[in-house]
Chain A
Amino acid sequence: MEKLIEYSPLLARGALVTIALALIALALATLLGGLAAAARIAGGRLGQGVVLVYTSIVRGVPDLVMILLIYFGGQRLLNLSLAPFGLQASLSPFWAGVIAIGIIYGAYLAETFRGAYMTVPRGQIEAGQSLGLRGLALVWNVILPQLVRFALPGYGNVWQVLVKSTAVVSVIGLSDLVGLANDAGKTAREPFIFLSAVMLVYLAITWVSSNALGMLERRVALKGHHAR
């Protein structure tokens, strides 16, 4: 146990890396999910086809395979595409993890967003149009505020799964909570204690996020209305 306390600053840094990775990946996933949902709703045949291929690939491939593929394959792709310009760049484990997890959970969020869009009553959109709102103004002022309310529970679920998914990024050498605790646990000859501490940190993240999400859901809920 003393060893765990000795190493706790290191593990805290690892936990910060894990949380940063999860939050940035969530931002990317939200962007990709939003674009994919928009393409499914208003992208025509081509847009729908592209989204179908995207979501099918993501659903078929384990997250660990996706991360390894993007880390090692992505580096090769960077080398090939930058070589003609005499440039060089390297893909760090952190950003490879962000890209892979962003791509994976973007596909799940696309479904969440599309489902939430379907629950926005048509009359609301038509009312907006009849007031002269079009395009982004309609999306921003009428659709989004209502969509958020319906999308939040699904969004929260995706976040909880996403956080756990970041653990596999340690396989490509990221010094996140899992990577650091696994190495430190071996050095300190107390791997069980160190890995148990990791489990507790993940449980704490889950607990804090589910409380925060519950508060957020109550805040966006309509006063006097029950969420459907």
Chain B
Amino acid sequence: MRVDLVLQNWHLFASGVWMTLQLTAIALVIGFLIALPSGIARARGTPIVSPIVNGFVYVFRGTPLIVQTFLIYFGLGQFEWIRDSWAWTFLRDPWWCAVIAFSLNSAAYATEIIRGAVSNIPRGELEAASALGLSPRQVDLLVLIPSALRRALPQYGNEVVFMLHGSAVASVITLQDILGAGRTLNARHYLAYEGFVTAALLYMAITFAIVLVFRQLEDRYLRHLRLSR
């Protein structure tokens, strides 16, 4: 293993880590913003909205992330009206395509997580809130959403790791993320595995950091559920 070459090219990996974290974080935030209303609508079975969300979730959870990314990056250019529109400035850029694909994918998975969390809130918790005189709107904002988000924490932690790992697909559409940096190192110095091993170690380190953070969050926000068991 040529560790010297890896260390010599540390800046390649530093900018790769930045790119990976950036893509993952943006996708998670946008995905979450879409998933919160969608998940609640699914849990309540809101007419019209719920079946549409269900279709979206089914398609995005049932197909590979890499195909979704290809569909947006390579696929959309097929249509002349897209190439002629203002959106083409974004859609021909691999960074934007990755952000769009990853956000939609994360939205689908997070919707299911939030749907599950909302339907698992004990009825009594919500009834108690309205018995105290809170309006339906206040019940949603002050009780339902905070309670659902707490309950969603463990599974959402898995989704964050899943998105981090999924973001490696970005390197296939030319972006220089962690894996992209590894591939560049290998190509530049005719190496077989050094770049991949370095990438693997970096992904592992970030994964463990995420797991640790979520363990702390769960200790803090799910303590009341643990005590009652």
Interface residues of A (CB under 8 A from B): 56-57, 59-66, 68-69, 72-73, 75-76, 164-168, 170-171, 178, 182, 185-186, 189-193, 195-196, 198-199, 202-203, 206-207
Contact = CB atoms under 8 A, between A and B. Distances in A.
Contact of B75 (A62, A68, A165, A195): A195
A202 B64 contact: yes
A70 B168 CA distance: 16
Given A171-B172, A182-B70, A203-B59, 20 more contacts: A60-B208, A61-B203, A62-B203, A64-B66, A64-B169, A64-B179, A65-B200, A68-B182, A69-B200, A165-B64, A167-B67, A171-B66, A178-B66, A182-B74, A185-B75, A186-B74, A192-B76, A195-B70, A202-B63, A203-B62
- Which A-B residue pairs are the 8 nearest by beta carbons? A60-B204, A73-B193, A167-B64, A192-B75, A62-B165, A76-B192, A62-B168, A69-B196
B78 A190 contact: yes
Nearest to A72: B192
A105 to B, nearest CB: 14
B165 A63 contact: yes
Contacts of A193: 78
Main secondary structure of the interface of B (DSSP, over half): helix
A59 to B, nearest CB: 7
A166 B70 CA distance: 15
Contacts of B200: 57, 60-61, 65-66, 69
B186 interface: yes
B79 interface: yes
Given A62-B179, A69-B193, A69-B196, A202 B62 contact: yes
Interface in B61-113: 62-68, 70-71, 74-79
B62 to A, nearest CB: 5
Interface of B: 58-59, 62-68, 70-71, 74-79, 161, 164-169, 171-172, 179, 182-183, 186, 192-193, 196-197, 199-200, 203-205, 207-208
B207 A196 contact: no
Nearest to A166: B64
B67 A178 contact: yes
Nearest to B58: A203
Nearest to A206: B62
Nearest to A188: B78
Contact of B78 (A56, A62, A72, A192): A192
Contacts of A203: 58-59, 62-63
B202 to A, nearest CB: 10
Contacts of A189: 78
Contacts of B68: 199
Contacts of B172: 64, 171
A192 B166 CA distance: 21
A164 B108 CA distance: 15
A60 B62 contact: no
* A63, A65, A198: most-surrounded residue (chain B CB, <10 A): A65
Contact of B71 (A165, A166, A170, A196): A196
Contacts of A178: 64, 66-67, 70
Contacts of B164: 62
Nearest to A210: B62
A68 B196 contact: yes
Contacts of B75: 185, 191-192, 195-196
Nearest to B194: A73
Contact of A60 (B63, B77, B78, B207): B207
Contacts of B166: 62
B71 A72 contact: no
Most buried by B among A56, A168, A190: A168
Contact of A191 (B74, B168, B186, B208): B74
Contacts of A185: 74-75
